[in-house]
Amino acid sequence: MHISIKLAVFELAYPLRPNPFICDDINNDCSKRGIKIITAKGSVGTIVGETNPLSFKFLINKEVGRGTYIKAKADGREWTLAQVDDIKRSNSAYSVSQLNDAARNYDSREMMIAEARVIGVGGAGKLHLPTSPARPGDPVFIADEKLIKATLGLAKGDMYVGMLRGYDIRVELDANTLVQKHCSVLAKTGSGKSYTAAVILEELLERKVALLIIDPHGEYASMKESNSVGDFSRYRVKPRGYDVTVYTPGEMAMNPRADRPFRFNGLNLSAREVSRMIPHESASSGQLGLLYEAIAAIRSETDSYTLEDIIEQVVRSNSKSKWNLVGQLESLLDLGLFSGTETPAEELLRPGRAAVIDMTGILPELQAMIVSRLLTDIFEARKRRLISPGMVVVEEAHNYIPERGTGTAASTNIVRTIAAEGRKFGLGLMVISQRPARVDKNVISQCNTQIIMRVTNPNDLKALSKGLEGMTTELEEEIKRLPAGVAMVVSNEIERPITVNVRPRKSRHGGVSTQIVIKEKAAGKPAPGRMATERAVMSKTRAAPAKVPGGHRPPAAEKKSAASLLKKVFGARRA
């Protein structure tokens, strides 16, 4: 009697339903076996088993892939958006318990069960999780574009970076949030991190954001030119070039891509300004003290002095540790950074324009010195509202802000300062690196928008797990399998990490790897391109013997040179 009362109450609250079973496309066999099929028109499956507000399983009756966005009724009223995390296929006829042929039930059918994670219910512009779990027996449908955009928060942005993977849904990020709260682009070599970073920079330039790009390898000078490679029609983008000025800290002859030289003001440098450009690992406290004494002595004698005067004063010192300091100062002097007209800070941050500091040909330790002084000047000028607000982009960030224990750089402190305080003064930061484990974690943790492409190194994956909120084992596995050109976007503005097919660049990509091995065509001719042309020129140069005055060619020049070289190495042959 007690049991029947409980059943009656349960049926009143939740009417009992027949046990659902989906048999793929073999409904006739199911009906013969007495199993009632419950399918809703357009559904891809039916919820089965135990459910909870955060996840549920459903039996698949149509093709559904891992990562597919689906929807089911929440509390019987609103649509809940969920994503397929995993799919399992089973067949009881081939289970371990029925290995004996005599006992095997050949009438059993294959089943596919999907595990879905609930993202939430979107309503009134706000996302919330359902208060009660989905009901077993309810149908599951493919989510529509409107629900996906509204629930994930993709309808808020204005920066078009690509398409949601598997869908023709534009992914648009909020430009203000990305700049003010900083951004990082992290990936292994060859995954497309520089390409993706340039896509973001294009969008920022179109919104009149001022950009200052630290470019160690000269990859961003090509943004001046329009692109000719890409599926522009599908992504609905039109190729174009941008207003980019390339500066070189070295000599103009060293860098043909450069438009102008980059120079600091070399007059009346303070001890603090000079010390910021000296690597901390190579400057002891005694050497820094010597620097302060030298500049104090110069200032007591004159009101105007140069870096050369500082070096001369240090040389006069009786300190035994002076020569290391002299070497560092002479490196700065030889670079030519303090000669000529100073490059004003307001010229480097102009709305809608990009200033690229091309470090090609500059020693790595000197690069960090330059970045330290440059960003300090920019940050101080921005604090006093002397220059436009904008964004600093640091490519190969592991060289300029190394993680503790992996190295030191003169630029670490100022980049950390911008990451921590830049938002208050209208100075954003983007860091780009192929080694997340070697980038300062304090800086990475300050980046609100994380764009992650393929990463496979265990140390780098561990670093991502520490630096990103909500990182799970499933997300780590997904990051390891991301193909080139596909990025995972993690942001507080997006309710769940999403994968994006990055759109084609509008400007030409300058980070293409140089081919070492040239593939031959079927006819045996070299493939067209710059490397093939270079090889042809080199072969012609080797084939054409040099001419001497009078038009006569030296006989057997190559044999003689080879013989003379052997004689020099091994000596003359004895009889």
pLDDT value at 150 more than 60:
yes
What H or E segment, with its residue span, contains residue 197? helix 193-206
Across 458-462, average pLDDT: 90
Query: What gap in Å lies between CA 504 and CA 233, rounded to an integer?
Result: 10
* Residue whose token pair is 């020129």: 537
Is 437 within 8 Å of 401 (Cβ atoms)? Answer: no
| In the chain, where the domains are located | 18-152, 159-262+343-502, 271-335
Closest CA to 127 of 189, 180, 177, 80: 80
Query: What gap in Å lies between CA 125 and CA 156, rounded to an integer?
Result: 10
Confidence (pLDDT) at 96? 65
pLDDT value at 574 more than 50:
no
Closest CA to 118 of 167, 164, 152: 152
Across 272-287, average pLDDT: 71
Beta 449-452 vs 45-52: how paired, if at all? unpaired
535 pLDDT tier (thresholds 50, 70, 90):
very low
Is 132 within 8 Å of 14 (Cβ atoms)? Answer: no
Confidence (pLDDT) at 527? 47
Instruction: Look up the pTM and report it.
Output: 0.79
Task: Give the pLDDT confidence of 159-215 residue by residue, as tens digits.
Answer: 999 999 999 999 999 999 999 999 999 999 888 999 999 999 999 999 999 999 999
Task: Give the pLDDT confidence of 87-114 residue by residue, as tens digits.
Answer: 999 887 776 666 565 555 555 678 899 9
Confidence (pLDDT) at 34? 46
- Within 8 A by CB and 6+ apart from 397, the residues are 415, 431, 432, 433, 439, 443
Task: Give the pLDDT confidence of 297-330 residue by residue, as tens digits.
Answer: 999 999 899 999 999 999 998 888 888 889 888 8
pLDDT value at 552 more than 50:
no
Task: Give the pLDDT confidence of 366-395 residue by residue, as tens digits.
Answer: 899 899 999 999 999 999 999 999 999 999
| Least-confidence region, from 33-42, 258-267, 538-547 | 538-547
Give the chain's mean pLDDT: 81
Task: Give the pLDDT confidence of 46-84 residue by residue, as tens digits.
Answer: 999 999 999 999 999 888 898 999 999 876 678 899 999
Task: Give the pLDDT confidence of 394-439 residue by residue, as tens digits.
Answer: 999 999 999 988 888 889 999 999 999 999 999 999 999 999 999 9
| Assigned CATH topology for domain 159-262+343-502 | Rossmann fold (3.40.50)
Percent of the chain scored above 90 by pLDDT?
50
